[in-house]
């Protein structure tokens, strides 16, 4: 009996009556069926707002980051079960790795982003603080806060797990409950992953809901606190972004659309160069990985006209060695398209492209998928075309065959190569293969205007390159124009997309209270206890120490020069120093830092365990011989990462604001120091 997929809406699994049957891409047999029951999207949105938002806001960035890490480990523990389901989508083990373990890796990456780059609490201070008055009593800054709405994520069929998780991770971290809607064709794999996540109990109630089938009136129920993201075709993106309610409510809509990505072989590369082989390998890999069903795949291979035939022949040889069939059969390196419908769509588009391009390699070249029952599958031959006059034909720059298909196109001169790249009207990613830094410096700034990401590939980068088509959690994924004009991933940038930015004005004390960070000019907390003697839990933001003073002598400068080996003329050459803008010998900047540390450090054993860095260091004014310096140390920010050392002692991170002033009260050095501080219990 065919399994009926279920939606998870308003805390309940919904679906008992079969509707559309979903077939295996390998042999055409029934895998699952969507459910026939209509969904109550009013209840879904209500659950997200009434239950999901408060549950997520009861946690902070750090706690949500830890939950993402736990979910990543959970999915890895169940990866073999997911691989078994993934096989029905036509994916090889390597394809499934990108989707399943790549999805888990994205959760791990955003757990790290939250832990290392976001504060405790639910307010991100996006400084710097700007003084708005002359007396220091009025200032402004920016903060980012959770939106209080729901994130609706509409995903494509090609990556049923990664596609959901790369959107879920940053929105969950930002405190937004999610409603995920996978593409129907491969939704059985998304449902399997979501069941694992929900059954674990790691997700707060209402944090994640799943829609199998259409979105009905969901868009009509959203408001300005919500966000919609979409991955899929450019045509569908164009229709969704003008939905009347999205426009009326100014609901953010982020699109990541399929694009005609290019790879350019620069004219400084010759057939006997290693880079030439790198180009051929990259194009062939992008054609066959996931059977070419990647929004980042190379659709246009732009090569010098003098090398067109050589590139074509080398690609023919590589593609002829690609074994297509059931991934369960030994030796198979490329699986099927996701569905028969996708197979028909790719065939139609190849037919359109062949009107202005020759087929260099395709089905006629011995295409014979391996495996039992593959005649009922959705297999498609790797297909390479060549358009010899690409500037004269629009179709090769407009029509995308979303499968193992790429078109070679020659150019005469780098300016024409740039023009061909622009004809794609905006792409997610491109690759430039060159040996010349000068060529890269000339071309990349122009190519960047039309691409979200660009790989510059040579023999040095190739050793560690993740490849043309691999979106990485730390790098922006998205592109202009046809590619949708949106942005996903990009490290902490993705989290910020799901937060609301606001400018805040007020006194420094009020700004400090709102941001949860000390702001210079705010009320200080001064006690008889040195701040370095406080355990993490006991330390207050704004707790401060004004140190004793120290007069800088010539002996200090000479001694520091001897210890450091820094004999820069401004410290030792009396004549040259007098002729400089400072008009005198000055102390080393790093001596000032060292002397300030000597003023504020509490030397005995205590809760402060380690100093692991300086941020925002600036030397504001010079310190000369005879100047007297003083330091103020203030607890600026506390971040509880919920970690313990090997002995089980809890730790937190404290950022300290340091102001070093001279005898006139002028600021001479300014910076933050970061310390690891022990907890009491």
Dihedral sign of CA atoms 335, 337, 340, 345 in order: negative
Give me the half-sphere count of Cα atoms (radius 13 Å) on the Cβ side of residue 510.
10
- 188, two tokens: 């059985």
Distance CA 177, CA 152 (A): 9
Q: Which SS3 state, helix, strand or coil, does residue 659 take?
A: strand
Whether 295 is a known active-site residue: answer yes
- Cross-strand bridge partners of residue 139: 131, 506
**Extended beta strands in 367-421, E state:** 383-386, 405-411
| Rounded-to-5 percentages of helix, strand, coil across the chain | 35, 25, 35
Question: Under a CB-based contact definition with an 8 Å cutoff, are residues 357 and 299 in contact?
Answer: no
Q: Which helix (H) or strand (E) holds 681?
A: none
Give the position of tokens 């420094």. 508
Hey, what are 312's tokens?
């074509």
Q: Distance between CA 233 and CA 184 in Å, rounded?
A: 14
Instruction: Choose the catalytic residue: 101, 166, 191, 256.
Output: 256
Q: Six-digit token pair at 454?
A: 């660009």
Task: Say whether 356 is catalytic.
Answer: no
Q: Answer for the pair 32, 4: CB distance below 8 angstroms, yes or no.
A: yes
Distances in whole angstroms, Cα of residue 144 to Cα of each of 207, 495, 628, 635, 656: 20, 10, 40, 21, 22
| Distances from the Cα of 606 to the Cα of 124, 407, 537, 598, 678, angstroms | 30, 67, 14, 16, 9
Are 406 and 298 in contact by the 8 Å Cβ rule? The answer is yes
Residues 599 and 548: beta-carbon distance below 8 Å: yes
Q: Is 519 helix (H, G, I), strand (E, B) or coil?
A: coil
Q: Which of 295, 356, 400, 543 is catalytic?
A: 295
Beta strand extents in 121-232 (DSSP E only):
124-125, 130-131, 139-146, 151-154, 178-181, 208-210, 227-232
Distance CA 469, CA 311 (A): 20
- Residues known to be catalytic: 256, 295
């Amino acid at each position: 009996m065919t399994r009926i997929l279920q939606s998870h809406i308003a805390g309940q699994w919904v679906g008992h009556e079969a509707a559309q049957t979903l077939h295996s891409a390998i042999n055409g047999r029934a895998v699952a069926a969507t459910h026939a029951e209509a969904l109550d999207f009013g209840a879904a949105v209500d659950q997200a707002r009434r239950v999901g938002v408060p549950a997520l806001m009861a946690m902070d960035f750090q706690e949500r980051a830890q939950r993402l890490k736990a979910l990543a480990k959970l999915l890895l523990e169940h990866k073999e079960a997911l691989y078994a389901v993934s096989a029905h989508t036509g994916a090889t083990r390597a394809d499934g790795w990108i989707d399943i373990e790549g999805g888990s890796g994205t959760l791990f990456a955003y757990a790290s982003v939250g832990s290392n780059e976001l504060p405790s609490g639910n307010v991100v201070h996006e400084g710097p603080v700007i003084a708005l008055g002359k007396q220091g009593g009025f200032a402004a800054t920016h903060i980012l806060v959770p939106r209080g709405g729901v994130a609706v994520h509409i995903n494509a069929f090609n990556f049923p797990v990664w596609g959901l998780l790369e959107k879920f991770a940053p929105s969950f971290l930002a405190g937004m409950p999610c409603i995920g809607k996978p593409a129907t064709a491969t939704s059985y794999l998304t449902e399997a992953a979501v069941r694992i996540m929900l059954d674990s109990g790691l997700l707060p109630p209402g944090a994640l809901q799943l829609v199998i089938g259409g979105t009905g009136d969901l868009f009509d129920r959203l408001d300005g606190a919500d966000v919609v993201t979409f991955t899929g075709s450019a045509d569908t993106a164009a229709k969704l972004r003008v939905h009347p309610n999205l426009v009326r409510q100014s609901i953010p809509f982020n699109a990541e659309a399929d694009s005609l990505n290019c790879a350019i072989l620069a004219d400084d590369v010759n057939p006997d160069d290693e880079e030439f082989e790198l180009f051929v390998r990259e194009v062939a890999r992008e054609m066959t990985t996931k059977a070419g069903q990647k929004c980042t795949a190379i659709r246009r291979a732009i090569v010098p006209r003098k090398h067109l035939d050589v590139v074509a022949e080398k690609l023919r040889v590589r593609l002829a060695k690609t074994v297509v069939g059931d991934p369960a059969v030994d030796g198979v390196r490329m699986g099927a398209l996701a569905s028969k419908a996708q197979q028909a769509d790719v065939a139609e588009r190849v037919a359109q492209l062949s009107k202005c391009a020759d087929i260099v390699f395709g089905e006629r070249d011995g295409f014979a998928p391996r495996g039992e029952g593959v005649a009922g599958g959705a297999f498609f031959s790797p297909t390479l075309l060549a358009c010899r006059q690409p500037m004269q034909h629009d179709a090769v720059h407009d029509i995308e065959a979303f499968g193992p298909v790429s078109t070679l196109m020659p150019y005469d001169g780098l300016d024409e190569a740039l023009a061909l790249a622009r004809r794609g009207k905006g792409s997610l990613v491109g690759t430039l293969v060159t040996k010349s830094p000068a060529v890269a410096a000339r071309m990349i700034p122009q190519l960047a205007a039309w691409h979200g990401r660009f790989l510059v590939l040579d023999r040095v980068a190739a050793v560690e390159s993740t490849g043309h088509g691999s979106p990485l959690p730390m790098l922006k994924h998205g592109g202009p124009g046809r590619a949708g004009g949106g942005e996903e991933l990009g490290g902490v940038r993705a989290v910020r997309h799901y937060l609301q930015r606001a400018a805040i004005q007020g006194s420094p004390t009020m700004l400090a209270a709102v941001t949860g960070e000390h702001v210079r000019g705010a009320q200080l907390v001064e006690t008889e206890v040195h701040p370095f003697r406080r355990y993490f839990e006991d330390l207050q933001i704004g707790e401060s120490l004004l140190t004793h003073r120290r007069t800088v002598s010539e002996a200090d400068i000479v001694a520091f020069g001897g210890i450091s080996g820094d004999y820069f003329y401004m410290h030792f050459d009396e004549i040259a120093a007098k002729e400089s803008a400072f008009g005198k010998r000055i102390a080393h900047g790093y001596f000032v830092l060292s002397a300030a540390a000597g003023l504020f450090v509490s030397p005995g054993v205590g809760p402060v365990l380690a100093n692991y860095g300086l941020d925002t260091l600036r030397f504001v004014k010079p310190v000369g011989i005879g100047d007297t310096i003083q330091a103020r140390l203030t607890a600026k920010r506390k971040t509880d990462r919920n970690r313990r050392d090997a002995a089980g002692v809890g730790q937190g991170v404290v950022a300290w604001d340091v102001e070093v002033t001279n005898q006139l009260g002028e600021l001479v050095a300014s910076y933050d120091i970061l310390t690891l501080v022990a907890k009491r219990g």
